[in-house]
């Protein structure tokens, strides 16, 4: 008997016949890319911007600010010697700072990209007058003129942001803040507006519409009466008539440096002539200025030590027109208010006063560790001075600051 496969039986199945078929390949849905929005069509135009400073009566005549001089913007201290000032006037300083801010500057506002919204042509100088500065340049954007104005009217928040970013370039040139700004801006208003290149007195609504105003700046300065009430002090400490006399204090102090003495700087209060409010009064007819009271931080030992060491000096012009400072003044501290210092024996007469152009100068170290604004009792460095005539009966009060 032969063992084997029975005739007629099926062969055993092969393993590969039982493999599972591969899964069905399902087609993925085709991603549909939405059509891209066309790039904004940029347009260009020329316009000018006017930075205008006006005083309490809304004219440039009533503001102390002056673009054509340097003392209004001399944050480091103004000198009557032009070689000691980094710029010849505020116009040159503002041109430098504004160009630096705006050159190829790009501004954005919600819902639209504006490329090179403001581009300044560096070859075009800034025009300056006492109370205004005019700068012209090129504007490039996807919306201009009435279209831009319409867009911004519907999006007030965006427009406010755009205006804020734009005017920052102008306001930063003042080197100011909410609590401090230049002495000459106190009680003044600032206006920034677009004007047409052809007629710079006419508002420009066809290119980059702008007209914004910041009114009646106080620069963080409180009134003297408010400060005295808060500190329970009296200035001036002696009873006197504060009616105006023929003398006043110029708002800006002068910083005086001598190349041969680099370690010492003098900050000078400039005395000037003025027309008394009542020329027929006793104070209005005063003929001599003999004493000045200053409101300082006399309670601080370092202030008294600085004055004792560096001195307080009378600076006057000679017949040759050159200043000399060889008269060290006698000083005394008030016995009723330790923060008041008197500079005495000035001996300044009305006759010849203008030729002398006198100044009272405080010496201090050149490292700025204790400059006059830090010695002043008033906030933000404002120095108050009471000017006494020879009788001591009249004492009008003025204030000044380095910046």
For the chain, 403 residues long, give each residue's pLDDT as a single digit of tens.
333 333 444 444 444 433 444 554 555 556 666 556 566 677 888 889 899 999 888 888 888 899 999 988 888 788 888 888 999 999 999 888 887 777 767 766 655 444 445 555 555 678 999 999 998 888 887 778 888 777 777 766 666 666 777 777 777 788 765 556 788 888 888 899 999 999 999 999 998 888 888 877 766 566 666 666 556 678 888 888 889 999 999 888 899 988 888 899 999 999 999 999 899 999 999 999 999 999 999 989 999 999 999 999 999 999 898 999 989 999 999 998 999 999 999 999 988 899 999 999 999 998 877 888 788 887 677 889 999 998 899 999 998 887 7
Q: Which of 214, 247, 263 finishes a domain?
A: 214
Residues 296, 332 share a domain: yes
Q: Which of 191, 214, 237 finishes a domain?
A: 214
Residues 110, 231 share a domain: no
d(CA 162, CA 106): 11
Residues 364, 234 share a domain: yes
Q: Are 344 and 238 in contact (CB under 8 A)?
A: no
Domain that holds residue 305: 224-400
**Residue 375 belongs to a domain:** yes
**Residue 240 belongs to a domain:** yes
Residues 232, 210 share a domain: no
**Residue 22 belongs to a domain:** no
Question: What CATH number did the domain enclosing 301 receive?
Answer: 2.60.40
Q: What is the pTM of this model?
A: 0.73
d(CA 129, CA 115): 32
Residues 325, 283 share a domain: yes
Q: Which of 167, 193, 214 finishes a domain?
A: 214
Residues 201, 172 share a domain: yes
Beta strand extents in 105-162 (DSSP E only): 108-109, 112-113, 127-128, 132-141
Residues 385, 247 share a domain: yes
Residues 194, 82 share a domain: yes
- Residue 377 has phi, psi (to 5 degrees) of -75, -30
Residues 343, 258 share a domain: yes
d(CA 363, CA 384): 17
Structurally, how many domains does the chain consist of?
2
């Amino acid at each position: 008997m032969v063992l084997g496969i029975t005739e007629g039986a099926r062969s055993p199945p092969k393993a590969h016949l039982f493999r599972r078929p591969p899964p069905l390949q399902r087609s993925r849905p085709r991603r549909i890319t939405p059509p891209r929005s066309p790039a904004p069509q940029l347009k260009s135009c020329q316009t000018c911007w006017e930075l205008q400073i006006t005083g309490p009566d809304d004219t440039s005549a009533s503001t102390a600010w002056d673009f054509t001089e340097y003392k209004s913007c001399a944050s480091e201290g103004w000198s009557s010697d032009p070689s000691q000032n980094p710029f010849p006037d505020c116009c040159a300083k503002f041109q430098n700072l504004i160009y630096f801010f705006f050159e190829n500057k790009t501004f954005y506002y919600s819902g639209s990209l504006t490329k090179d919204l403001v581009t300044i042509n560096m070859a075009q100088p800034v025009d300056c007058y006492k109370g205004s500065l005019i700068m012209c340049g090129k504007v490039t954007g996807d919306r201009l003129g009435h279209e831009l104005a319409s867009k911004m009217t519907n999006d007030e928040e965006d427009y406010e942001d755009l205006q804020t970013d734009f005017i920052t370039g102008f306001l930063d040139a003042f080197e100011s803040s909410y609590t401090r700004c230049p002495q000459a801006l106190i009680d003044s208003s600032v206006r920034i507006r677009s004007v047409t290149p052809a007629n710079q007195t006419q508002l420009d609504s066809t290119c980059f519409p702008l007209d914004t105003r910041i009114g009646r700046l106080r620069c963080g300065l409180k009134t003297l009466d408010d400060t005295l009430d808060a500190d329970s002090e009296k200035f001036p400490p002696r009873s006197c008539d504060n009616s105006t006399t023929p003398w006043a204090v110029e708002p800006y102090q002068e910083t005086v440096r001598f190349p041969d003495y680099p370690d010492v700087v003098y900050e000078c209060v400039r005395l000037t002539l003025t027309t008394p409010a009542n020329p027929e009064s006793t104070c209005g007819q005063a003929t001599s200025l003999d004493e000045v009271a200053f409101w300082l931080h006399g309670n601080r030992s370092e202030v008294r030590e600085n004055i004792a060491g560096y001195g307080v000096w009378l600076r006057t012009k000679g017949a040759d027109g050159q200043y000399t400072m060889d008269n060290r003044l006698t000083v005394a501290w008030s016995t009723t208010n330790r923060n008041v210092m008197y500079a005495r024996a000035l001996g300044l007469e009305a006759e010849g006063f203008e030729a002398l152009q006198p100044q009272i100068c405080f010496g201090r170290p050149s490292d700025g560790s204790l400059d006059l604004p830090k010695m002043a009792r008033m906030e933000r460095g404002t120095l108050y001075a009471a000017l006494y005539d020879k009788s001591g009966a009249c004492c009008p009060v003025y204030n000044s600051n380095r910046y």
